[in-house]
Structure 1
Amino acid sequence: MSHRTLVIGDIHGAYKALLQVLDRADVAANDKLVFLGDYVDGWSQSPEVIDHLMGLSKTNECVFIRGNHDDLFHKWLQEGEHNEQWLFHGGQATLNAYDKMDQELIDVHEGFLASLNNYHLDEENRLFVHAGFTNLHGVDYEYFPKMLYWDRTLWEMALALNPMLAEDDSLYPKRLQHYSEIYIGHTPTTRIEVTKPVNKANVWNMDTGAAYKSPLTIMDVDTKEFWQSDNVNELYPHEKGRN
């Protein structure tokens, strides 16, 4: 099997879904895996997700992007910092899961969260970032790095863009002109009632709603072939996932 670059959307503690997509995509040791973030918060197996990701990094070239939920959990581990909104939107499930873990494992996972990348730019000028960016000159010029894992305006802009507008038109968004393709998560495609990867302009949204009642997705960035898990709520029938 030839080398592939595979991109994986938001997992949100859905370890069973992660195993399914890796199996259904027949992931091999020579495949590069790019994870777009939000490994925690939602379903009950965030520790298992992070353990498995760290294991994959021993057999595959892996890129782990920082998601906003990963950052929130990391802050809690470091400083006990939290807020009710985070707990309501999946954080409580993560805290419940880690309450059963020993401190040595928690410390290892804290190191993993500290090592996450804010973005990844590959040799094909493809950008991988959790949420988006706001600076017209690109990610390297972002004034507020947190926007890389909190922004929603990039996706909203891509959704609203007139598909007939040419890239060399003076009105074409400057943010979209820096990269051949942009892969994001963060804003579920279920908001537009779709449970598959969505492409608008040169932006691919890979968050297919695994935090809720939809599948997790993995995609070959060259061929655009993708594989999905079962609807995650069916894998965790006694849990509610994210609100």
Structure 2
Amino acid sequence: MRTIAIGDIHGGLKALIQVLNNVEVKDEDSLIFVGDYVDGWSEAAQVIQFLIELSGTIDCIFIKGNHDVWAEEWLRSGEVNPTWYMHGGKETMESYDGFTEDQKIAHLTFFENMKMYHIDAENRLFLHAGFTSMHGVEKEVFQTTLYFDRTLWEMATTMDKRIEKNSELYPKRLKHYKEIYIGHTPTIHYNSMTPMQAINVWNIDTGAAFTGKLSAIDIDTKTLWQSDELPSLYPDEKGRNK
């Protein structure tokens, strides 16, 4: 059995299907998605529908990202967050043209049931962005931190790699987990088109919302699968490259 972690999708259904085909997903595999399924390319609603159907046949864990929070609020209330609208919300709203009210309700339920984080049997943590509590993710006071925080990744990337985990200088929040898998901060901002590791943190958002690719990684073997660059899959669109 494999456990595959999958990065931020941002409405790129073609990339998601391409990656899953490359992985050659089997019935006994488990898939962990780190959030941001919507906002960017034109198939956000179609991504959600696909994932709902996929979860009926494959073991899936869905983490909630900040863009998913915005989409959930819109589906629930009909109110449009201006920040969301400018950062992919417009495309997500348009993708729901032709979807019935019953389908929208099913999608809202899907968003509502997403997890804020997941810790597996080997003490590996999966969440969208980060956390700030030195006592671990369970002690995080503000839920928004879990899908907005970037300080965890910033800290990991700037940390002196000579500091050992048993040292008093090693950040306490990193000590709690064997590994931490996140999305939210595209690695293309660090000139990397592949997932990045910093200490025990793995960033698997490889910029699918922009000019990058969608990535999937086997968390045991670190085997990597990627889609084509998203602009090549949606040549008539800009995604979030505005």
TM over 0.5: yes
Q: Who is 1:192 aligned against? A: 190
Matching residue's letter, 2:167:
D
**What SS class does the counterpart of residue 127 from structure 1 fall into?**
strand
Matching residue's letter, 1:48:
Q
Following superposition, the deviation at residue 40 of structure 1 comes to 0.5
Q: Who is 1:209 aligned against? A: 207
- Distance of 1:163 and 1:9 partners within structure 2: 25
Q: Who is 1:100 aligned against? A: 98
Determine whether 1:124 maps to 2:122.
Answer: yes
Following superposition, the deviation at residue 105 of structure 1 comes to 0.9
- Distance of 1:82 and 1:162 partners within structure 2: 43
2:6/2:31 contact within 8 Å kept: yes
Q: CA RMSD in A?
A: 0.9
Q: Who is 1:8 aligned against? A: 6
Aligned equivalent of 1:177, options 152, 161, 175: 175
Following superposition, the deviation at residue 223 of structure 1 comes to 0.2
5+ residue gaps, structure 1: none
Following superposition, the deviation at residue 73 of structure 1 comes to 0.7
* CA deviation vs aligned residue, 1:102-151 (integer Å, no higher than 9, x gap): 21111110110010000000001000000011111011100001111111
5+ residue gaps, structure 2: none
- Distance of 2:186 and 2:80 partners within structure 1: 23
Following superposition, the deviation at residue 168 of structure 1 comes to 1.6
**What SS class does the counterpart of residue 10 from structure 1 fall into?**
coil
- Distance of 1:81 and 1:47 partners within structure 2: 17
- Distance of 1:125 and 1:167 partners within structure 2: 15
Give the TM-score taking structure 1 as reference length: 0.97
Following superposition, the deviation at residue 21 of structure 1 comes to 0.3
Mean Cα deviation higher: 45-54 or 175-184: 45-54
Following superposition, the deviation at residue 80 of structure 1 comes to 2.8
- Distance of 1:236 and 1:96 partners within structure 2: 16
Following superposition, the deviation at residue 59 of structure 1 comes to 1.2
Q: Who is 1:154 aligned against? A: 152
Mean Cα deviation higher: 11-20 or 100-109: 100-109
Following superposition, the deviation at residue 52 of structure 1 comes to 1.1
Length, aligned pairs only: 241
2:70/2:81 contact within 8 Å kept: no
Give the share of equivalent positions with the same residue, in percent: 52
Mean Cα deviation higher: 225-234 or 161-170: 161-170
- Distance of 2:203 and 2:113 partners within structure 1: 24
